[in-house]
Amino acid sequence: MNLFFLLFFFLPYFFLFLLFLSFFLFFNFLFFFSFSFSFFFFLHSFTFHLGGYSHSGAVKLGIL
């Protein structure tokens, strides 16, 4: 009876917790990846601007 209670009452919450944890880690990785990608674009456009190129494309994209 205790095993039955554990199976039907605690296991779904455990799976929900695992699902929430996986989604949290996945979105955390996505946010970190997008931040590093935008930082790379910022550095790229900044070096092009220092090299004498126009950074109007970066301004249009909202990077600089």
pLDDT at 5: 75
Q: CB atoms < 10 A from the CB of 28, how many?
A: 10
Residues of the chain with pLDDT under 70: 1, 28-64
Those residues whose C-beta lies under 8 Å from the C-beta of residue 1, and which sit 6 or more positions away, are none
pLDDT at 4: 77
Q: State pTM to two decimals.
A: 0.37
Exposure on the CB side of residue 59, measured as CA atoms within 13 A: 5
pLDDT at 59: 53
pLDDT at 35: 65
